[in-house]
Amino acid sequence: MRPFALRKCADVAKYVPEIEIFGSGGIISGDHAMSYLQYGAKALQICSAVQNLDAATVFYDLKTSLQANMFCLTKKELYDKGWRGQFPPFDF
User: What pLDDT does residue 36 have?
Assistant: 92
Q: What is the pTM of this model?
A: 0.76
Establish if 89 belongs to a structural domain. no
Print the domain residue range for 36: 2-80
Give the count of domains, the chain: 1
Average pLDDT of the residues in 55-79: 84
* pLDDT beyond 90 at 68: no
H or E segment and range at residue 4: helix 2-15
Establish if 33 belongs to a structural domain. yes
- From the list 31, 24, 16, the residue with the least C-alpha distance to 84 is 31
Q: How many CB atoms lie within 10 A of CB 4?
A: 10
CA 88 vs. chain centroid, Å, equals 17
Q: How far apart are CA 2 and CA 17, in angstroms?
A: 21
Single-letter amino acid code for the residue at 78: L
* pLDDT beyond 70 at 89: no
State the chain's mean pLDDT as an integer: 84
